[in-house]
Structures are given as structure tokens and as C-alpha cells.
Amino acid sequence: MPSLKPPGWNRLPRWGKILYALAGVAVLVAVGVYGVPALQKPDTCHDGIEKIGGECIGVDGAGYDFGTPEISAVARAISEENKRIANQPHVTVG
């Protein structure tokens, strides 16, 4: 079986091997801290609406009512109006 050590590994002083090992551990920790969360899909309530700290956060003009029945009619009316003017010149208000 071939050796997994890089060429010249045996010629390095002990402190050099320790530095290489620490650098390798640092890379693994950085990947774990920054890489893995970046690959995870965010928790969403609806398309374009993220769930952060248990709350749905975002702006939606497609009729999503954020689970609040009191605004369902308004959200639906906004969605219908957005569909009606989709191919006309218009402004966006947030």
C-alpha cells in the first residue's frame, strides 16, 4: 500500500509536522463552521419568505398571508392586482 505522507514528510522537523497538522485541523474547522451552513437550504414559509427564529420574514405580492387569516383577503387582492398589471408599465412599492 502506498504511503499517504507527502514527499519529504520524513525530512520535516517535528514542529513542521505539528504546523501542518494544525493547518489541516484549521481548514476542517473552517469548512465545518462556514461551508456546511452555506450548503443548507434555508427554512422557508413560502417562496421568497424565510423562516427566521420561528417567524416568517419577507415581502410577498403573490397572495401569501403569513398564516394570518385577517389579512387573507388583502393578500389575495394584492396578488390579483399584480397579475392584472403584470404586462403593463408599473412601479413596485415595498
Question: For residue 91, what pLDDT is reported?
Answer: 81
CA dihedral 38, 66, 92, 50 (to 10 degrees): 0
Q: How far is CA 74 from CA 21, 28, 40, 57, 64, in A?
A: 60, 50, 33, 18, 10
Q: How confident is the model over 66-90, as a mean pLDDT? A: 89
pLDDT for 94 beyond 80: no
- Residues 6 or more apart whose Cβ sits within 8 Å of residue 57: 49, 50, 51
Percent of the chain with pLDDT over 70: 88
Q: How confident is the model over 25-31, as a mean pLDDT? A: 91
